[in-house]
Structure 1
Amino acid sequence: MQKRERNKFSLWMLAWPIFIELFLQFLLGAADTLQVSKISDDAVAVVGFSTQLFSALMTLFMTVASGAGILIAQRIGSQRQEDARTIAIMSVKISAIIGLVISVPLYLFPGQIASAFQLPDELMSLAKTYISIVGGGMVLVAVMAALSNAIRNTGNTKGPMYTAIGMNIIHVGMNYAFIFGKFGFPEWGLRGVAISTDISRLLAVVVLLMMFLGAFERQITLRDFKLYDNKLFKEILKIGWPLGINMSCWVFSQLLIYTYIAKLGAIELSARTYMNTLESFCFMLGYSLALALQIQIAHLYGAGKVQEAYKNSYRALWIGLAIVTVNALVLYLIGGKLLKIFTDNPEIIAMGVSLLGMNLLLQPGKMLNMGIGNALNAVGDTRFVMWTSITSMTLIATILSYIFGITLGWGLVGIYACMILDEYIRGLWVLRRWRQKQFIKKEEQKRSSGPHSSSGSKGATLEI
């Protein structure tokens, strides 16, 4: 039984389904971009802008889902299945409520929201349609994220992967039908893409919910969604709110960067959207390793195996660095040809090609952040990661990006240079923290105080 549990939480067994899931999400994004590009480059710009807006708002419910995910893995590692089950139920319920609160204003006021972020006037009509429909379905994203997170942190990374496969197939198929009016469907263009997005997400929620009900040792029933444990909820918030702020810093910095790029013009906005799609290819496998590492380390930490958790982080980091570097090099060599698949606008292609070399520097810095940052999160050291994000992203990713990109007139190149600097500063910062072994020292201190204290330390979070 222990051997099966150990294999279930091995890095490879956790990582490969996450990679397949992320790869399918990448294909979904690429297919979306490719299919939307057949409508117009303006439609691509709207989808790119809206994606950043939605990602920023997602941090509000991901605070609960992410914090709960880490605690679920820790509790399973310390053999506290009932606590893990209760935490999972609360995370789904609370995420759904937050998602609903987000959905209402997006559905009712899409134009006002787009105007607030200085979207160019020529994109406004498309933006109102897309933000209203996809934004109105953000409650589905909230529930889907909470369900996937809970299922994944039980060690079952295959379930969300299979769900992603089905969702991708349905979404791409409906995109084709709605954009071009095939199979008797109306030719709705970008409106059709938005409707396709909501339908595929709704189906994914239904499948994940069925999976979630049987994810723990004791079956979850619909009546169990009344469960609420104030002590456990406080633990979720304690570990989750710094995660939420960390995610918010990154997403809002990206949203501000998109606002800067919108000032440069629709061509620059389209180029950045295409580059986002290509860059996803680079860090996909590295990110899957980082997510798997977080689950593994949280499980080991909950079981009290802190030295093993510390060593495993470096193995995953070196593998991830090698992978993203090779992927970035491949993209550098063939990226120009790939851009021509998405658009025939020579200005957009030239702008994208100029950024491919900079991407070689960007991706290793991202991997360092993803790997070691997630390792710190897994042992509860979420506040330190939060403070590094607040400091670096505020000063470099947002303020310096504006100075170099807009004020000094360096454009996208200046913005990318600041993004690279931000990644490396944060990466070296969290690496230094990890090497200090604060969580190991704390665990050893608790063990030395006696068996009673040691047993109570399992799954604890690290105070800063």
Structure 2
Amino acid sequence: MVQIKNRGALSMLKLTFPIAMELFFRILVSSADTFMLSSYSNAAVAAVGLVSQYVFFLNLIFAVIGTGCSIVLAQYIGAGKSKEELNHIAQASAIMVSIISLVLTFAVIFGTRPLLNCYELEDSVREYAWQYFIIYGGICCFFNAFSLLQGAILRSYGYTNEAMIVSLVANFINVVGNALSLYGWFGLPVFGVKGVAWASGISMIASCILFNFFIRRRKDVELHIHGITKVPLQSYKLVLSVGVPTAGESLSYNVSQIVIMAMVSTLGTNAISAEVYTMTIVRFVFSVASAVGQATQIKTGYYVGARQSDVAYKKVFKYQLIATVCSMVMIVVVNIAKNPVIRMFTDIEEVYSMVTTLLILSVYIEFGRSLNLIYVGALKGAGDVKFPVLYGIISMWGIMVFGSYILGLKMGLGLAGFWIGIGTDETTRGIVMLLRWKSKRWQKYALV
């Protein structure tokens, strides 16, 4: 057995802060695209916002492997498993991510045109969306996938500072690339959406290289090429047994968001833009709760692996309180400062009015989301993955999608109706996950 320092003793702040900053910079990468494109073309904003749903969808497919790998590693580390066992989990994950990313690259290249034809879009929006998705979602797919996996492995070992540094560098590369593509600096031609897509893709390539450097630098992090063809079948099964149902909730959520965006697209380009701008703003709000949720998942894995479930049970309530307070304070501040924030993106009064309404309704959404992110993270870290997935799928489609359709389209509330449906799903689901955690039924699902 390998003697690994007590990861459970890592402070929550030390884990959470770098993750929060990493998420902040990751969001900033996509938000920089939206902000800088807003000065180029409203149609370009709508296009990138539309296909960004599918980029997130691809990322969530990779999360099947990355999340499964992270949860298994956290419990294995907490239980003091051998270096060979830890390496097998990482190797199996790397092989699966490589194969899946190559398959999805061809799927994006050959399937984007038929996909976009399913939407009622202006010709310019359709062309911009095709350009962005082919380059960033297709050509750069492998690098994005491997970057996500390497980050998950480092975080599992408690090395969250490295992931933060990588995100900072990636964000810098992306913003500079956007500026060179859109503003014609140094006499360069304006490349438009294609240039923005390549800037995002190159930032992921740089992330992949940097993560590899940090993994090699940390001698206790196990991810080696040697023996990669001799990985036991059990390692693949274990990662997938946790990863598939764990990511199932996220996959279902993203598909439901795609369906909602398709419904929003029937309201016109201004409605799509308002939806994109609002999501761009609120992502910064829930980045803190999301970071606490990820850290909670890691810490719970350590505690459960070390057979300290009672410690995990008490601490998760404290983590949830912190996340909820942070989310509420941040969304209130955003609403108070909404005028300059929204004006950063648009001067169209109709879009401004819609975003203002959605930000007010976001108070309702972010309360429920903070509950969801923490308790679902805790349940996943403990190995209890099926319940949140099954209930989540029922709630997302039965409350969020159906409710959005009824309120937004049938009752004529428009975007406000969609937001109310989303908020009701997040809040009710968060309460159910809280009750599941209190029941302690998750204690019988430990992996070790």
Whether TM-score is above 0.5 comes out as yes
Q: 1:352 to 1:220 in 2, by over 3 A?
A: closer
Residue deviations 1:183-204, cap 9 Å, x none? 3533101111011111111111
Residue 42 (1) aligns with residue 30 (2): no
Q: How far did residue 3 of structure 1 move?
A: 11
Structure 2 residue identity aligned to 1:14: L
The CA distance in 1 between the partners of 2:77 and 2:226, in whole Å, is 23
CA contact (8 A) 2:92 2:235 kept: no
CA distance in 2 between counterparts of 1:280 and 1:131 reads: 21
Report the Cα offset of residue 54 of structure 1.
1.5
- CA shift for structure 1 position 328: 0.7
**Distance between the aligned counterparts of 1:333 and 1:3, measured in 2?**
47
Equivalences for 1:322-401 in 2 at 5 Å?
A: 322-401=325-404
> In the aligned structure 1, how far is the partner of 2:355 from the partner of 2:339?
8
Give identity over the alignment, percent. 28
Query: Which residue identity does 1:104 align to in structure 2?
Result: F
- 1:70 maps to what in 2? 71
1:437 pairs with 2:425: no
What displacement does 1:121 show?
3.8
Give the match for residue 459 of structure 1: 447
Cα distance in 2 for residues equivalent to 1:34 and 1:354: 20
Deviation at 1:43, TM superposition (A): 0.7
1:286 alignment partner in structure 2:
289
Q: Report how far residue 258 of structure 1 moved.
A: 0.7
* Partner AA of 1:46 in structure 2: A
1:145 pairs with 136, 148, 153, which one? 148
Structure 2 residue 256 is matched with structure 1 residue 243 = no
1:122 Cα deviation from its structure 2 partner? 4.2
Q: How far apart, in 2, do the equivalents of 1:430 and 1:88 lie?
A: 29
Q: Distance in 1 between the 2:361 and 2:223 partners? A: 49
Contact kept? 2:327, 2:370, Cα under 8 Å: yes
What displacement does 1:307 show?
Answer: 0.5
Q: CA deviation at 1:229?
A: 1.6
Q: In the TM superposition, what is the alpha-carbon distance from 1:214 to its structure 2 partner?
A: 4.6
**Matched letter for residue 72 of structure 1:** L
Q: Indicate the residue corresponding to 2:131 in structure 1.
A: 129
How far 1:7 moved relative to its partner? 7.0
The Cα of 1:418 is off from its aligned counterpart by: 0.4
**Residue 55 (structure 1) aligned with residue 56 (structure 2):** yes
Stretch deviating more after TM superposition (196-205 or 135-144): 135-144
Shift of residue 162, structure 1, vs aligned partner: 0.6
Task: Give 2:107's aligned amino acid.
Answer: P
Structure 1 position 218, deviation (Å): 6.9
Please, what is the CA RMSD of the aligned residues? Answer: 1.9
TM-score by length of 1: 0.92
1:91 aligned residue: 93
- Scaled by the length of structure 2, the TM-score of the pair is 0.95
1:13-56 superposed Cα distances (whole Å, 9 cap, x missing partner): 11011011112123223322111111111111111111101112
2:91–2:225 contact (8 Å) kept in structure 1: no
Provide the residue aligned with 1:194 in structure 2. 197
Take 1:134 and 1:24, find their aligned partners in 2: how far apart are those partners? Answer: 18
**Residue type of the alignment partner of 1:248:** L
Q: How many residues align?
A: 445
Q: Relative to structure 2, which stretch is displaced further, 117-126 or 66-75? A: 117-126
Residue in 1 that maps onto 2:431: 428
The answer to whether residue 391 in structure 2 is matched with residue 403 in structure 1 is no
Once the two structures are TM-superposed, the CA of residue 129 in structure 1 deviates from its matched residue by 1.1
Provide, for residues 375-399 of structure 1, a one-character-per-residue CA deviation record: whole Å limited to 9, x for no partner. Answer: 0011111000001111101111112
Point out the more displaced range, 28-37 or 365-374. Answer: 28-37
| Distance in 1 (alpha carbons) for counterparts of 2:230 and 2:40 | 47
Who is 1:255 aligned against?
A: 258
Matched, 1:112 2:100: no
The Cα shift of 1:9 comes to 2.8
Amino acid in structure 2 at the alignment position of 1:17 = P
Distance in 2 (alpha carbons) for counterparts of 1:117 and 1:433: 39
Code of the residue aligned with 1:129 in structure 2: it is Q
1:77–1:299 Cα contact (<8 Å) kept: yes
Structure 1 residue matching 2:185: 3-state secondary structure: coil
Once the two structures are TM-superposed, the CA of residue 118 in structure 1 deviates from its matched residue by 4.1
Task: Confirm or deny that 1:168 pairs with 2:165.
Answer: no
CA contact (8 A) 1:134 1:194 kept: yes
Question: In structure 2, the residue corresponding to 1:183 is in which secondary structure?
Answer: helix
Deviations 1:83-132 (A, max 9, x none): 22211121122112111111112123422121134444441111121111
Aligned twin of 2:416: 413
Which residue identity lines up with residue 191 of structure 1 in the other structure? K
Q: Which runs of 5+ in 2 are unaligned?
A: none
CA distance in 2, matches of 1:227, 1:402: 50
- The one-letter amino acid paired with 1:326 is V
Give the superposition deviation at 1:343.
1.0
Contact 1:111/1:127 (CA < 8 Å) preserved in 2?
no
- CA gap of 1:113–1:373, structure 2 versus 1, over 3 A, is same
- In the alignment, the residues of structure 2 paired with residue 111 and residue 200 of structure 1 have an alpha-carbon distance, to the nearest angstrom, of 25
Classify 1:289/1:406 alpha carbon distance in 2 versus 1 (closer, same or farther; 3 Å).
same
Quote the Cα distance in structure 1 between the aligned partners of 2:181 and 2:63: 31
C-alpha distance in structure 2 between counterparts of 1:392 and 1:118, whole Å: 28
Could you tell me how far apart the structure 2 residues matched to 1:96 and 1:280 are? 29
